Chain A
Amino acid sequence: MFSSRAFDNRLVNVPEQSIPPFLEEPKSIKDSVINNSRLDGRDQVTPRLLFIKTGLVDKAHGSAYLEQGKIKISCAVYGPRPVVKAGAVISATTGNLECEFSFSSFSSSWRTVKQRDTEEKEISQILTQALGPSICLHMFPKSSIDVYVTVIESDGRLATIAAAIKCATIALVDASIDMFDVVTCVSASLFNNSWVIDCTQAEENEEDSSILLSYMVSSQEITNVIQTGKTSIELSQNGLNLCVDVGSKIYQAMCQYLSKSL
Chain B
Amino acid sequence: MSLTTVTPGKRLGITHDYSAGKGTYVRNGTIFATVCGKKHIIENEPGTLPIIAVLGKNQESAIPVVGSEILGKVTKIHAKQATVSIMMIGNVPCRKDFHGIIRLQDVRATEKDKVKIFECFRPGDVLRAQIISMGDQRSYYLSTAKNEYGVVFAQSSLGNTMIPISWNEMQDPKTLIIENRKCAKPF
Which of B7, B9, B97, B138 is within 8 Å of A81, CB to CB? B97
Which of A174, A218, A259, A261 is within 8 Å of B9, CB to CB? A218
B5 contacts partner chain A, Cβ-Cβ < 8 Å: yes
Nearest CB on B from A151, distance (A)? 25
In the complex formed, the residue of A with least CB distance to B28 is A219
Report the bound CA distance from A219 to B33 in whole Å. 12
Are the C-beta atoms of A259 and B97 separated by less than 8 Å? no
How many of A's residues come within 8 Å of B, CB to CB?
35
Contacting residues of chain A (59-81) with chain B, CB-CB under 8 angstroms? 61, 80-81
Are the C-beta atoms of B34 and A180 separated by less than 8 Å? yes
B95 contacts partner chain A, Cβ-Cβ < 8 Å: yes
Are the C-beta atoms of B36 and A142 separated by less than 8 Å? no
How many of B's residues come within 8 Å of A, CB to CB?
32
Mask, A148-190, CB within 8 Å of B = 1, is 0000000000000000000000000111111111100000000
Contacting residues of chain B (116-160) with chain A, CB-CB under 8 angstroms? 134, 137-138, 140
Contacting residues of chain B (30-75) with chain A, CB-CB under 8 angstroms? 32, 34-38, 56-58, 60-61, 63-65
**Residues of the B chain whose Cβ atoms lie less than 8 Å from the Cβ of A180:** 8-9, 25, 27, 32, 34
Are the C-beta atoms of B34 and A136 separated by less than 8 Å? yes
Report the bound CA distance from A90 to B97 in whole Å. 15
Which of A84, A143, A219, A262 is within 8 Å of B36, CB to CB? A262
**A interface SS class:** loop
**Residues of the A chain whose Cβ atoms lie less than 8 Å from the Cβ of B99:** 82
A258 contacts partner chain B, Cβ-Cβ < 8 Å: yes
**B interface SS class:** loop
**Residues of the A chain whose Cβ atoms lie less than 8 Å from the Cβ of B23:** 178
**Residues of the B chain whose Cβ atoms lie less than 8 Å from the Cβ of A255:** 7, 10
Q: Assess A81 versus B95: contact at CB under 8 Å? Given A142-B134, A173-B7, A180-B8.
A: yes
A11 contacts partner chain B, Cβ-Cβ < 8 Å: no
Interface residues of B (CB under 8 A from A): 5-11, 23, 25, 27, 32, 34-38, 56-58, 60-61, 63-65, 95, 97-99, 134, 137-138, 140
Please name 22 pairs of A and B residues whose Cβ atoms are closer than 8 Å in the assembled complex, sorted by A.
A80-B63, A83-B138, A90-B137, A134-B8, A140-B63, A142-B63, A143-B63, A176-B58, A176-B60, A178-B23, A179-B8, A180-B8, A180-B9, A180-B32, A218-B11, A254-B7, A255-B7, A258-B7, A258-B36, A259-B5, A259-B6, A262-B36
